[in-house]
């Protein structure tokens, strides 16, 4: 077995989380896998995996070797796929961290469809908005949404969305429809976040900025929850388009103050600088770019 295959074996061990599972995956004896791992550790004169009864942990050196071995193996597989005519099965783990509500409302069907078309990829999706360390937390990608512009070379802008102002027809019938930003002050406004006071900023048709500070009639860190509250007539809400779309399509809420716009929400696909793209990462990146380029579609 050559050095490339030794590295491939080590990648399998790490990704499967145990020697026995790697042996089952490769359809070889567990003893053979253990022996090759021992040879690899002897070659580099380091412990790659701490193995004790009831304990299995990759060492820091093992983590570094995994990342570098993954790049080497991925490059070899990419060459094989690019220069042979035989179909190359794409397989292996793919860990993704996705902005919580964007993932559940917009990306969920896209991710499910990706898994159905590539059943040999073990897709692991974490819906979370917290800042993460892609290397330390062992994610291949993170998808985040922000109104800020980032020049980080490892963050690729793959789409945009926007905010709108919405209310139910029932609420507007009872309370009237605001025609200006100032009119909003006499309405019940549902604020994103848990602060008692909120602020909304708008761009008017002339390019100016209009703001309104208000005391929230109700607040939440969930746009989906606020959309449901607006659907039930509890107030006026400001929502990202990917959250509001199904509610508008169903007629549960309607847009108001449509002559005002907001600064775009930028959708970024992020990856660790040290992680080289393998084929499954390239496939996922291309899929997300196609999907998110249409994140702000006209509502029909």
> What does the pLDDT look like over 20-71, one tens digit per residue?
888 888 888 888 888 888 888 888 888 888 877 767 788 888 888 888 887 7
Residue count of the chain, please give it.
300
- Token pair recorded at residue 88: 């190359």
The CATH number given to 3-83 is 1.10.10.10
Q: Which helix (H) or strand (E) holds 290?
A: helix 279-292
Residue from 250, 264, 235 nearest 163 by CA: 264
First to last CA, the chain: 59
CATH classification (class only), 163-256: alpha beta
Answer left, alpha or beta for residue 257, where phi above 0 means left and psi between -120 and 50 means alpha: left
Asked whether the predicted pLDDT for residue 299 surpasses 60, the reply is: no
pLDDT of amino acid 1: 55
Task: Quote the pTM value.
Answer: 0.67
How far apart are the C-alpha atoms of 248 and 179, rounded to whole Å?
19
Quick one: CATH architecture of 92-161+265-292?
3-Layer(aba) Sandwich (3.40)
Question: Domain locations in the chain?
Answer: 3-83, 92-161+265-292, 163-256
- Spatial neighbors of 225 by CB under 8 A, at least 6 apart, are none
- Domains 92-161+265-292 and 163-256 fall in the same CATH topology: yes
User: pLDDT tens for residues 71-125?
Assistant: 787 777 666 655 554 455 677 888 999 999 999 999 999 999 999 999 988 899 9
């Amino acid at each position: 077995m050559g050095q490339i295959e030794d590295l491939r074996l080590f990648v399998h061990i790490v990704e499967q989380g145990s020697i026995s599972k790697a042996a089952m995956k490769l359809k070889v004896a567990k003893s053979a896998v253990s022996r090759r791992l021992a040879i690899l550790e002897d070659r580099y004169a380091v412990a790659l995996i701490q193995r004790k009864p009831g304990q299995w942990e990759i060492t820091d050196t093992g983590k570094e070797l995994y990342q570098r071995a993954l790049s080497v193996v991925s490059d070899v597989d990419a060459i094989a796929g690019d220069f042979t005519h035989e179909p190359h099965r794409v397989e292996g783990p793919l860990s993704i961290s996705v902005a919580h509500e964007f993932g559940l409302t917009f990306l969920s069907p896209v991710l499910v469809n990706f898994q159905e078309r590539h059943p040999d990829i073990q897709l692991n999706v974490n819906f979370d908005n917290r800042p993460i360390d892609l290397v330390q937390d062992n994610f291949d990608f993170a998808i985040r949404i922000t109104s800020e512009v980032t020049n980080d070379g490892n963050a690729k802008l793959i789409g945009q969305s926007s905010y709108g102002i919405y209310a139910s027809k029932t609420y507007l019938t009872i309370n009237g429809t605001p025609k200006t930003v100032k009119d909003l002050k006499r309405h019940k406004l549902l604020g994103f976040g848990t602060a008692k006071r909120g602020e909304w900023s708008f761009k008017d048709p002339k390019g100016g900025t209009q703001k309104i500070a208000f005391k929230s009639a109700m607040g939440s860190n969930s746009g989906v929850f606020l959309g449901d509250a607006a659907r039930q007539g509890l107030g006026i809400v400001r929502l990202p388009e990917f959250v509001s779309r199904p509610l508008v399509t169903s007629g549960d809420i309607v847009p108001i103050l449509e002559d005002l716009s907001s600064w775009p929400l930028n959708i970024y696909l992020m990856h660790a600088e040290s992680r080289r793209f393998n084929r499954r990462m390239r496939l996922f990146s291309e899929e997300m770019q196609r999907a998110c380029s249409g994140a702000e579609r006209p509502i029909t």
